[in-house]
Structure 1
């Protein structure tokens, strides 16, 4: 399914928790009817307590507050924050509660990886920022690099449709909650801005490849420049070939990947692909100032995307994801400027010569990690689909 482009939106790019969490808290504190929050991680830290307090305040005002947290990413939430929020009147559901930590069954890898908030049907947030402090590593020179978008306008309609749909699915999956769920109606449509945008999800039914296909369409249409900043970058063959083909057409292609990582196996697997990209003329920068957690891209300073979807098999084949896509020179140029600033101040470029002269053992480890990741996807039953 392609993107349905909707005009008349007002979008504001939010970089890192320093911009995102105050905006989210302000929106929740202004809620009068209904709040939805979906997140992969809801940490038991100062940031988690801050947002939890805002949700409790809203519930105390009589606002219907619905919070959906992933059962794997939210294990800490289940242990420490679920009960106090439920006691305060917040409606909490857990998506696929983690009950068998050592299991490799297929469904265990199907996670709710989306980060969406919707307030009164009039303000939404979509992006990659979990509810967790982005200053959790004192040795880093800056916060975790990540993005979200604050949204007003017609794009709220498909966002509202998907959060209510998933909430209902999870509710019906619980034997204790097989009751019809009443949701507040959307307010009359408004067009507070002039930005054209679309909203896509990834799930395991009708929207398996929507986000990936939207990337591929934009890459195929690129004429000048592509910048992809992605935390866990392990693209399949179609995606790799699309980027290399763009470079052969004379398009400048730049990748911003992780220098520091909390998942070394995936980082090593990503580095197994560096040789192919560098040989094809793609520029690669690794971000070292802090953790890179962004999932964003810009094409020709006109097309942009911000969301939760990594370019790896776990996001593109298994998880529930959500991305906003934008066709607007102002928004795209603003995101590109932010990325260029991040590369200039906190990233190191990998040169083709230096990479080729690198230790042979490093290459062996990288390809071993790549094989391990592919094996994990194969065990889950998806190895022949990407």
Structure 2
């Protein structure tokens, strides 16, 4: 392990334009609260549900019927009983373990429930099966929204119940809530029409929020397969290419394309410190070993790699130069950047960014295991072969999905 307690250098840069790459705008006047792990997140959304007066949107990849899921379901039921319209959108694959009787009971209780791509039979192969709804969004009236990487599932794991998943979300109050609400509403309406349940597509007229905002600037980014295919990736690249002192990345799955890897290498050549915190425990073998296939080339370029081995790392976050930060559902891998529906928040605020950077550095210092280039390059040949085989299989799966960007073809990516 290595000491990362040193502070971020004082040299700063700011976005002079009000737009991110991809066209999304920064919106000023927000109050943003960083929430680490389900221990902070679930009480916050439950309290928001209990304050709801008109409408709740909850969109999540995984919805489990564990103690946490049951607690959330009960809070939604309380809102329905007060006359609140509750719209829950889950992914058919991610939430495949949610029992049919639970779904039926939620609907009978008055919860409007839709399933994104419910056909998941392994015997019916379709290219679109790899395109999932991976967003984690909660919106309550026009008052508060939550964006991050936390699913509706308890923090504990079967293998290590005492160690929570490492993850983040952000509570948003202020004018940006409306953009998040409209995005959730558009996806909900589209799925309602596609599911031939047009009665669920109706929109509720909501009063203007009376919740005070704050002084923070942030932007809400989506990734879809229509107008916003590259918005999240483009925002990352824009920030990395402007970085002056430090880039901190923490990702459950990290399989960047050639353009992204070149941007990180270019930052190192400019004297920027690049630190990547990755999953150390094996959760999904194929993805885990595919990520390791890139370790050698990243280390050779001067990028520092640490593995988080305390529990399962589920975060999808970054902080650059102590003020630019992003938190959301998007990993840096082909499934997030090229296939799935994702949602990230980008924050440009020195107080928020500096605090977040300190938290990430403390995690790396106390729970990160540094991967050294010399020892990694001495790995047995069969392990490196297995890593590259896993990497190749994931690329093949991306190709079978039917989505390969033209510039990826040109580069052989």
TM bracket, shorter-chain basis: over 0.9
CA displacement at 1:142 relative to structure 2: 1.7
Corresponding residue of 1:361: 382
CA displacement at 1:32 relative to structure 2: 1.0
CA displacement at 1:340 relative to structure 2: 1.4
CA displacement at 1:344 relative to structure 2: 1.9
Matches within 5 A, 1:175-186: 175-177=196-198, 180-185=201-206
Q: 1:291 aligns with which of 308, 312, 323?
A: 312
Is the 8 Å Cα contact of residues 58 and 89 (structure 2) preserved in structure 1? yes
Worse-matched range after superposition: 92-101 or 291-300 = 92-101
**In structure 2, how many angstroms separate the alpha carbons of the residues matched to 1:79 and 1:46?**
17
- The 1:184–1:260 alpha-carbon spacing in structure 2 relative to 1, beyond 3 Å, is farther
Deviations 1:207-266 (A, max 9, x none): 000000000000000000001101111111111110011011110000011001321111
Matches within 5 A, 1:46-125: 46-125=67-146
Q: 2:372 aligns with which of 351, 356, 360?
A: 351
Matches within 5 A, 1:260-275: 260-275=281-296
CA displacement at 1:347 relative to structure 2: 1.7
Corresponding residue of 2:49: 28
**In structure 2, how many angstroms separate the alpha carbons of the residues matched to 1:59 and 1:84?**
13
Is the 8 Å Cα contact of residues 289 and 390 (structure 2) preserved in structure 1? yes
1:308 aligns with 2:354: no
**In structure 2, how many angstroms separate the alpha carbons of the residues matched to 1:310 and 1:85?**
30
1:203 aligns with 2:224: yes
CA displacement at 1:357 relative to structure 2: 1.2
Corresponding residue of 2:234: 213
SS at match of 1:262: coil
Unaligned residue ranges in structure 2 (runs of 5+):
1-21, 409-413
TM-score normalised per structure 2: 0.91
Corresponding residue of 2:7: none
Corresponding residue of 2:181: 160
Q: CA RMSD in A?
A: 1.5
Q: 1:126 aligns with which of 116, 123, 147?
A: 147
SS at match of 1:81: helix
TM-score normalised per structure 1: 0.97
SS at match of 2:153: coil
**In structure 1, how many angstroms separate the alpha carbons of the residues matched to 2:171 and 2:117?**
28
**In structure 1, how many angstroms separate the alpha carbons of the residues matched to 2:81 and 2:177?**
25
- The 1:19–1:6 alpha-carbon spacing in structure 2 relative to 1, beyond 3 Å, is same
**In structure 1, how many angstroms separate the alpha carbons of the residues matched to 2:234 and 2:99?**
35
Q: 1:239 aligns with which of 251, 256, 260?
A: 260
Unaligned residue ranges in structure 1 (runs of 5+):
none
Is the 8 Å Cα contact of residues 11 and 151 (structure 1) preserved in structure 2? yes
Is the 8 Å Cα contact of residues 7 and 194 (structure 1) preserved in structure 2? yes
Is the 8 Å Cα contact of residues 188 and 201 (structure 2) preserved in structure 1? no
Q: 1:255 aligns with which of 258, 271, 276?
A: 276
CA displacement at 1:177 relative to structure 2: 2.9
- The 1:11–1:93 alpha-carbon spacing in structure 2 relative to 1, beyond 3 Å, is same
Aligned residues: 386
The runs of at least 4 consecutive aligned structure 1 residues that moved more than 6 Å come to none
1:322 aligns with 2:365: no
- The 1:168–1:223 alpha-carbon spacing in structure 2 relative to 1, beyond 3 Å, is same
- The 1:32–1:195 alpha-carbon spacing in structure 2 relative to 1, beyond 3 Å, is same
**In structure 2, how many angstroms separate the alpha carbons of the residues matched to 1:54 and 1:140?**
24
**In structure 2, how many angstroms separate the alpha carbons of the residues matched to 1:31 and 1:178?**
22
SS at match of 2:385: helix
Corresponding residue of 1:187: 208
Corresponding residue of 1:173: 194
**In structure 1, how many angstroms separate the alpha carbons of the residues matched to 2:111 and 2:176?**
26
Corresponding residue of 2:8: none
